[in-house]
Amino acid sequence: MVKGKRGVIYVVSDSLGETGELVAKAGKIQFNSSISEIKRFPFVLEKEQISEIVEEASQYNAIIVYTLVVPEMKEHMLNVASKYNIKAVDVLGSVIDALKELTQREPLYEAGLNRRLDADYFKKVEAIEFAVKYDDGKDARGVKKADVVLLGVSRTSKTPLSMYLAHKNIRVANIPIVPEVEPPKEIFEIPNNRIIALTNDPDKLNSIRQERLKALGLDYTANYASMERILGELDYAEKIYNKLRCPVINVSDKAIEETASIILSIIRKGD
């Protein structure tokens, strides 16, 4: 029995149902006040739920808009909707079929993947924000919160590595090692398998630092790029690394991706 003449749109989804609701709203607006409401039913993962929703919808002047990806659930929806003579619109079906033909591959048919992707995205954003906040020793409190802490003298790729790893959802804090500054006590208070020390060959550092000074319009013969200074920094850093007994990676002949891969391997072994 149909109650009233104004229509109702039932949105049924195995995830949040946001996609189906957006489509329903886009359609509803074309009919002014002819559609009274949109009712959303998220996380519909059982056939019994579908049966109950369709039975309820049959009491109204309703259609069903659904975003179900599991074939058995879609088939059940169509069968029950047909039984009650209700129009059921598959929002994703045509797109998935077209992509299946385009890629010549079978879809995963897993419910909630979009939600998992969203969670992954936000975790990545959090990791990037973390890397920026705790870059270059800005705040030593990040050491204890980080998944991994990178140590190294200037120009050992600490910041690029931090950002690269952040895109892998790894929260990274990096600490510069400078002879004139005591390293933060926090690095001695965390497990050494969460610390990665970075080093570089003296000649390579000398070249990199000279180019850096030139790029900044500064005298490339400044103490920062002198071999004596570089050797002193590396010696100081090595003493700290030995004290920490942490893994050490020489980045002199490695691309960022290669070094990051080594770091990820060390992290996984430590888990």
The amino acid occupying position 88 is: A
The amino acid occupying position 157 is: S
The Cα–Cα gap between 191 and 229 comes to 30
The upper half-sphere exposure of residue 170, i.e. CA atoms within 13 Å in the direction of its Cβ, equals 22
Strands (E), the chain: 3-13, 35-41, 60-67, 88-90, 148-152, 172-176, 195-199, 248-250
Q: What are phi and psi of 8, to 5 degrees?
A: -125, 135
In contact, 39 and 9? CB cutoff 8 Å? yes
In contact, 171 and 128? CB cutoff 8 Å? no
The Cα–Cα gap between 99 and 80 comes to 27
- Binding site per annotation, positions: 152-159
The Cα–Cα gap between 209 and 27 comes to 61
- Binding site per annotation, positions for ADP: 152-159
In contact, 4 and 13? CB cutoff 8 Å? no
In three-state secondary structure terms, 178 is coil
